[in-house]
Amino acid sequence: MSIRKRIVTIDGPSGGGKSTASRALAARLYFTYLDTGAMYRAVAFQCHKNELEAKETPELSDLLDSMTMELLPPQAGGDDVRVVVNGDEIGPELRTPEMGMLASKYSGLPSVRQTLTRLQQEIGKEGRIVAEGRDTGTVVFPDAAWKFFLDASPEERAQRRSAQLQSKGESVNEAELLAQIIQRDKDDRERSLAPLAAALDAITIDSTQLTADEVVEAMYQHVLHTSCCRDE
């Protein structure tokens, strides 16, 4: 058997329930949760703040070379991983749909992907992580022991996102959210570099008709009943 790392990857389009599932699965396995989307959002935030175009330029290269990034656990009562870039924590702007769109745009740039892939591999080198994103099973951790691709219909995803934003007291336009989700899927799936895709050895779960608990249970049972690594 090839040597696999004790890593779970959960990829899929936005709003498919990846974050909820990844967080809960990580807690059940006593693994660390790695939110790679937050890292792409943080880079987009920095680029936007510095008014950089989504292009390979010397300014982008300088920004990436000099950037430090640290992920912190959620604050008490919250769920979102916090991101500190160059010593400053990015606020709630990190999680807005607009920042998601920007992240999708900048994430097509080779230098951005290279920088973040390297950082993610460094964080995951000891294993025991649940990584969530678009390419964690295909590019970042191809040797992960357990890979999932979590999907749901665009309408269901828009509705979930809307409920999530409303619970944070934000006003939402559901039609606009649906349009953004469809556009972001298209951009993420069609980009040439590390596109959103299920790894060949990933298990695809369609969560349209499932509760979050059912998704996590299915994943947990799969991890529990599939041995992975040589030291088992």
Q: Residue by residue, what is the 3-state secondary structure of 27-66?
A: HHHCCEEEEHHHHHHHHHHHHHHCCCCCCCCHHHHHHHHH
Altogether, the residues listed in the chain come to a count of 232
Smallest gap, in angstroms, from Cβ of residue 140 to ligand DC?
A: 7
Pure H helices in 108-211: 110-123, 154-167, 174-190
CA dist 84 and 90 (Å) reads 6
- Name which position in 16, 17, 124, 133 contacts ligand DC (CB under 6 A): 133
Residues 9-28 that bind ligand DC (CB under 6 A): 14
At its nearest, how many Å lie between ligand DC and the CB of residue 122?
A: 15
Shortest Å, Cβ 232 to ligand DC: 28
Tell me the C-alpha to C-alpha distance, in Å, between residue 51 and each of 35, 107, 116.
25, 16, 20
- Asked whether position 185 contacts ligand DC by CB under 6 A, the answer is no
Nearer to ligand DC, 40 or 149 (CB): 40
Closer CB to ligand DC, 107 or 162, in the complex: 107
- Interface residues with ligand DC (CB under 6 A) are 14, 36-37, 40-41, 100, 103-104, 107, 133-136, 184, 188
